[in-house]
Amino acid sequence: MHNHKHAIVFTQSPFATDKGKEGLELALTLATYEQPIALFFTGQAPLQLAKNINSDLLQRKNYTQGFNALDLYDIEQVYINAQSLDELQLNQRDLSIAAQVLSTEEFVAKLSHFDVVLQF
Amino acid sequence: MNEVNFNGQPIALDKHGYLQNYLDWDEALAPILAEQENIELTAAHWEVIYFVRNFYLEFKTSPAIRILVKAIAQKLGKEKGNSPYLYKLFPKGPAKQATKIAGLPKPAKCI
Amino acid sequence: MAKILIFVTSGPETDDGQSALSYARHALKHNKLSAVFFYSDAVYVANKLRKPPSDELNFLEGWQSLHKKHGVELIVCSAAAQRRGVLDASEAEYHGISGDSLAEHFRIGGLGEYVELQMYADRVVQF
C-alpha cells in the first residue's frame, strides 16, 4: 500500500471552466481520507483564491468559498506561483487564505516532491 | 415534482425530500422537513441544524461526516463533536438528515 | 511490473482524452493496469448514446474492449457524471429520470474509490 503525496495543481480562472470546482472536490475528498496533499496555483488560478468574488452576478455557484475550509480539512500546504500573482496584479493581501508564494523555480522544485501530480 | 405546503405556498422538493432551492428554507419549515424524517426537533437538533446550515453558507459545500464531527468538536466541544452523539440525534446519518432538515442541497454521493 | 492507475480528466474530444486510450493499450503490454478512473469532462466518453461517424475512431468501443479483453475496470465518478447526464439505471431511478445513459462495461463509483485505488497503485497517470 502506498501513501502517495498528492499535488493538485490549479491552472484555470475560477468560472471559465469547471476544473477548479472539480479539483477542489477531489482535494477535499483526499483530505477526508487523510491522504497527504498540497494545492498549487499557477497561471490564472490564483484568481480562484481572490477575496470578495461575487459569482451570484454570474449566476454561478461560488464554489471558491470552499477554499476557506482547507484548515478544517487539515490541508496546510498551499503554494502560489509568484509570477502568476504578479501577472494578475494580485498580492497576498488580496487572497482569501494564507498561502506560500514561491518563485517559478521554487514552485517547480516543490512540485517534484510529490508522487502524484494532478492538474485542473 | 414533490412539494410541501408552507404558509399557503408550495415549496419544491426533490424526489427524496430535499429542498430544490436552499434559499427557500425558513426556520418554520425545518419542523416540517424533520417530520418526514420522523424526527421531533429539540434544542440539541437545532444546534446541529444551524451548524450545518452555517457551514454550507460559509463554504458552499456540505461537510463529510468526519469533518462535521471535527468542526462541531471545535466549536461546541467534544461532548457534541462525536459520532455517537450526532447519530443519536439523526439516526439515519447526521450528514444526510441534518443537511436535509437544514434545507441544504442533497450532497453528491461521490464520497 | 508496476501497477498503474489511469486518471482521465480530459474530454473524449481532446487530444489528451484520446491519448489516454493509446496509453492504456500500451500500458497493458508492459505493466499491470489496475483501473481507469474517469473524472471531470472525461466522463462524457461513457455515454452510451455516443455515435461518432464511422470514419472516426470510436473511443467508447475502444475503452469497452479493454474491459472485455483484459478485464480492466472502467470507473466513472458519480458526481461528475450526474452533472453531465451520464447515469446508470439505479441512479436514474433514484432521481426519477426515465432512461439511463451509462455505457456497458463502465460502472459508477465515488471519488472515495479513487482514493482507495491510488493507494494500491504504484503510479497514477493523468490525461
CB atoms within 10 A of CB C97: 14
Mutate to test the interface with A, among C76, C124, C125, C127 (most CBs of A within 10 A): C124
Answer for the pair B72, B78: CB distance below 8 angstroms, yes or no.
no
C-alpha cell at A108: 517547480
Residue A24 CA: distances (Å) to CA of A5, A19, B54, B66: 16, 8, 20, 17
pLDDT-derived band at B109, boundaries 50, 70, 90: low
- Predicted local distance difference test score (pLDDT) of residue A113: 96
Our answer to whether residue B96 is catalytic in this structure is: no
Residues ≥6 apart with Cβ < 8 Å to A71: none
B71 touches chain A (CB under 8 A): yes
Cα atoms in the 13 Å half-sphere on the side-chain side of C56: 9
Nearest in space to C37 (alpha carbons), one of C12, C13, C62, C72? C72
Residue A84 CA: distances (Å) to CA of A36, A41, A107, B40: 25, 8, 11, 53
Does the pTM surpass 0.90? The reply is yes
- Predicted local distance difference test score (pLDDT) of residue B4: 85
Cα atoms in the 13 Å half-sphere on the side-chain side of A97: 25
**Residue C27 to residue B1: CA distance in whole angstroms:** 48
Rounded to an integer, the average pLDDT of B12-41 is 91
Collapsing DSSP to helix, strand or coil, B96 comes out as: helix
Whether the pLDDT of residue B111 is over 50: the answer is no
Domains and CATH numbers, chain A: 6-119 (3.40.1260.10)
What averages of pLDDT result for each successive group of 10 residues across chain C (127 residues)?
94 94 93 94 96 90 95 96 95 91 97 95 96
**Residue B42 to residue C51: CA distance in whole angstroms:** 55
Q: pLDDT tens digit string along B79-97?
A: 999 999 999 999 998 888 9
- Predicted local distance difference test score (pLDDT) of residue A103: 98
Q: Is the dihedral of CA B79, B85, B89, B90 positive or negative?
A: positive
Chain B: residue nearest A30 by CA? B111
Mutate to test the interface with A, among B21, B56, B58, B59 (most CBs of A within 10 A): B59
Rounded to an integer, the average pLDDT of A57-76 is 93
| Closest Cβ opposite residue A19 in set C40, C114, C118 | C40
Annotated catalytic residue, options B1, B43, B108, B110: B110
Q: Which CATH number fits domain C3-126: 3.40.50.920, 3.40.1260.10, 3.40.50.300, 1.10.1240.10?
A: 3.40.1260.10
User: Which CATH architecture group holds B2-101?
Assistant: Orthogonal Bundle (1.10)
Annotated catalytic residue, options C8, C45, C77, C102: C77
- Predicted local distance difference test score (pLDDT) of residue C30: 86
Rounded to an integer, the average pLDDT of A59-81 is 95
| Closest Cβ opposite residue A33 in set C9, C115, C121 | C115
Strand order in the sheet with A100-102: A100-102, A77-81, A37-41, A6-10, A116-119
- Give the residue carrying C-alpha cell 470552499: A66
Answer for the pair B110, C108: CB distance below 8 angstroms, yes or no.
no
Rounded to an integer, the average pLDDT of A19-27 is 96
Sorted by where each begins, the domain ranges of chain C are 3-126
Sorted by where each begins, the domain ranges of chain B are 2-101
Residue B34 CA: distances (Å) to CA of A5, B69, B89, B90: 42, 21, 11, 10
Interface chains of chain B (3 or more CB pairs under 8 Å): A, C
What average pLDDT does the structure give for chain A? 95
Chain C: residue nearest B14 by CA? C95
Answer for the pair A28, B109: CB distance below 8 angstroms, yes or no.
no
